[in-house]
Amino acid sequence: MFRSKILGFAAALAALLLPAVAAAQTPVRVGYIPILGVAPIFIADKEGWLAAAGLKPTFTPFESGPNMIQALASGTVDVYVAGVAPLGVARSKGVDVKVVAATAIEEMTFVAGPRLAKYFEGGAKAAEAFAKFREAEGRPAKLATQPPGSVPDTTLKHWVYKVGGTKESDVQIVAMGIDATQQALLAGAVDGATVREPAVSIITTRNPATRLVALGGDMFPNQPGTVVAVSGAFLAKNPEGVQKMVKAVVDAIDLIAKDPDRTVPHIEAALGKGIVETSIIRKAVASPASKFVADPRVIIEPSRLMQQYQVTIGTLDKEVPLDGLFDTSFYQKATGR
């Protein structure tokens, strides 16, 4: 009798606690672009670390960072996981946002399609390869990237023009979405493209005649990449939740380094959608194009240099102060560094 009363009390207590636990979960709307650099936030979710932090995330994909800025400005996204470049501009226009962690650097690479790849043989520099292509093919090489002002667009132009010294008449740069860029390169509709993992591994696996020509560090040294940024409104209401989210991102990046195979199913579920094979996800995680870094301090100076170049090419009217954009305290508290 006594035992049954105890069990009944325990069951009643559990029933009372369940709604409280559910109520304790703070909804958080996460916008992201479907690239490998966003993997840490999904690993943190699949490992249960975000739930343990009291967060209940919903994820919405976007085609590019600039497209996501509108959602961030309108208040329909709380957390932005994408390239850092559009955030400085957004903040200068009154969008209240803070970068609290990085996830990856030097993500953007350049992959040449079969027709263009042969002109890079023998270690040919960009200017030489593109000039030979135009001479032989009778037209400029068509290169796909994301919208002007984005990290992919800026990185491509920096590599083509500043690093490579290519003549503008030797290339034609076209802007399109991430998925469209991958498909256009595979279909031969463009001759080359700036792509990130897992697109690099998908493209080079499906068409071995394509070639990874330049890594991120070649295109823009310490190239600033994907970051975790939060809206000012969400941060003001949930500072402890943001702190725990940053710690979860740090732990996810540590897990990628220590046990990448454990992270592959999480990444496949988030980014593969049953379309990308496990072997390709595993290849992408181990790729030289994948450099996971959580410390936002690493990208502050490269972000400033990228802004300088954006002003040079006209995608940014003037440099905007970055001091108020980055809040490194969350990372420092999470790591003790």
Q: Above 60 in pLDDT, residue 270?
A: yes
Which residues lie closer than 8 Å to 240 by C-beta, 6 or more apart?
54
Of 19-28, 182-191, 261-270, 282-291, the one with minimum mean pLDDT is 19-28
Report the DSSP pairing between strands 26-32 and 55-61: parallel
Q: Based on the number of CB atoms within 10 Å of its own CB, is 147 exposed (0-12), middle (13-18) or buried (19 or more)?
A: middle
Q: How confident is the model at residue 148 (pLDDT cuts 50, 70, 90)?
A: confident
The DSSP secondary structure of 67-93, one letter per residue, reads HHHHHHHHTS-SEEEEESHHHHHHHHT
Q: Domain 109-219 belongs to what topology?
A: D-Maltodextrin-Binding Protein; domain 2 (3.40.190)
Q: What is the DSSP letter of 25?
A: P
Residue 324 is predicted with a pLDDT of 86
Span 294-321, mean pLDDT? 91
Q: How confident is the model at residue 182 (pLDDT cuts 50, 70, 90)?
A: very high
Domain residue spans of the chain: 21-105+224-335, 109-219
Q: Looking at domain 21-105+224-335, which CATH architecture does it have?
A: 3-Layer(aba) Sandwich (3.40)
Of 63-67, 98-102, 135-139, 324-328, the one with minimum mean pLDDT is 63-67
Residue 274 is predicted with a pLDDT of 67
Q: What is the pLDDT of residues 186-202, one digit of tens each?
A: 999 999 999 999 999 99
Span 311-324, mean pLDDT? 86
Residue 147 is predicted with a pLDDT of 86
Span 234-261, mean pLDDT? 97
Residue 317 is predicted with a pLDDT of 85
For residue 287, give both structure tokens: 């790729």
Peptide bond preceding 198: is omega within 30 degrees of 0, i.e. cis?
yes
The number of beta carbons lying within 10 Å of the beta carbon of residue 51 is: 15
Does residue 307 contact residue 319 with C-beta atoms inside 8 Å?
yes
Of 101-105, 148-152, 252-256, the one with minimum mean pLDDT is 148-152
Q: Above 60 in pLDDT, residue 8?
A: no
Q: Above 50 in pLDDT, residue 5?
A: no
Q: Above 50 in pLDDT, residue 287?
A: yes
The DSSP secondary structure of 135-166, one letter per residue, reads HHHSSPEEEEE--TTSHHHHHHHIIIIIIT--
Mean pLDDT of the chain: 90
Q: Above 50 in pLDDT, residue 224?
A: yes
- Amino acid found at 101: A
Span 253-259, mean pLDDT? 97
Residue 1 is predicted with a pLDDT of 45
Residue 257 is predicted with a pLDDT of 96
Share of the chain above pLDDT 90, in %: 76
- Calpha distance 271→275 (Å, rounded): 9
For 277-297, b/e burial (b = at least 16 CB within 10 A) is: eeebbbbbbebebbbbbbbbe
The number of beta carbons lying within 10 Å of the beta carbon of residue 150 is: 25
Residue 79 is predicted with a pLDDT of 98
Q: What is the pLDDT of residues 58-117, one digit of tens each?
A: 999 998 888 899 999 999 999 999 988 889 888 888 899 999 999 999 999 999 999 999
Q: Above 80 in pLDDT, residue 15?
A: no
Domain 21-105+224-335 and domain 109-219, same fold? Reply is yes
Of 3-17, 39-53, 255-269, the one with minimum mean pLDDT is 3-17
Residue 272 is predicted with a pLDDT of 78
Q: How confident is the model at residue 290 (pLDDT cuts 50, 70, 90)?
A: very high
Q: Above 90 in pLDDT, residue 40?
A: yes
